[in-house]
Structure 1
Amino acid sequence: MSDVLVFAEEFFDAVSRGDIDAVSACYRDDVTVWHNYDDVDQTKAENLATLGSIPDRYDEFGYTDARTVGLDDGFLRQHVIVATRDGKTAHVPAILRVYVEDRAIHRIEEYFDRGSLLAQLS
């Protein structure tokens, strides 16, 4: 497995575990995280706060059906977000384009249907 694929696995494992310190260590200080559903670039602090609030918003959260492709400047990750709240479970496909330099993420572009996620959990 290439180094970038190992790095990708470590990153998503940290996100899944809720290990915000490990996620932070994967980010450059100037990282930007963009989501298609709001068209806003989050800063490192904003994104870490979002990820850190996952246990407050969901009873369970994780990923299935993960596929990762290494690229010259990072990786492409496809997965299904699986989130449970109040006995309801959502399954939402997502894709992320992640830009990596020297084992540090400097940009993420994440695409998923947030409306579907919220509707499935309502």
Structure 2
Amino acid sequence: MAARHQRLQGGHCSDGRTPRAPFHGQVIHAPTAETGRFTVYRLRMGAFDDIADGVVAAITAGDSAALGELYADDVVVWHNTDGIEMTKEANLASLDALAAMTTKRSFSNIRRHEIDGGFVQQHVMHLDWGSGSGDLPACLVVKVENGKIIRADEYFDGATVAKFGR
């Protein structure tokens, strides 16, 4: 059973821990990247893979124009830390601000689950800024219509977010 469990887990953390297994019904393909902490796996969902991959690529690159192409014009983006529903323009401006504050952004331990009309993505976002770096575990719930994101609800640990401001 331990070997099967490790195979489903699909990797290990540098501190010896094993990341959580994916939910039933997901297919794990070969590792797509190796970071210092996690092996990142591509989880194939089907219809929403390109959109989900595009979100990660745009944020990693700090490319608000690319993220804007994935959004419907009337998209709503909500964060649990402030409870504000942001417009497309406001959310893209927040990505520009994040890109200006950080020297590097990356994702690891990505787990995606298809839901009716969208997907859920759990991940750890790694942020580097001139004087340090930090990890932000997060969960993103995305609804899609006609190939565009119409709503994104982002959940972060508020205490972790507050540490980045110090």
Query: Structure 1: which 5+ residue stretches go unaligned?
Result: none
Q: Distance in 2 between matches of 1:96 and 1:108?
A: 7
Q: How does 1:1-122 map to 2 (within 5 A)?
A: 1=44, 2-119=46-163, 122=166
Runs (4+) of structure 1 moved beyond 2 Å? Answer: none
Q: Distance in 2 between matches of 1:5 and 1:47?
A: 21
1:70-109, Cα deviation, whole Å (9 max, x unpaired): 1221000000011112332111210010000111000010
The AA in structure 2 aligned to 1:48 is L
Change (3 A) 1:114 1:71: same
SS at match of 1:77: strand
The AA in structure 2 aligned to 1:23 is L
- Give the drift of 1:6: 2.5
Query: Structure 2: which 5+ residue stretches go unaligned?
Result: 1-43
Q: TM-score of the superposition, structure 2-length normalised?
A: 0.68
Identify the structure with the greater strand proportion.
1
SS at match of 2:124: strand
- Give the drift of 1:120: 5.3
Across the aligned residues of Structure 1 and Structure 2, the Cα RMSD in angstroms comes to 1.5
Work out the percentage of aligned pairs sharing the same amino acid: 32
Q: Distance in 1 between matches of 2:118 and 2:95?
A: 21
Give the number of the structure whose alpha-carbon radius of gyration is greater. Answer: 2
Higher relative contact order (CA 8 A, sep 6+): 1
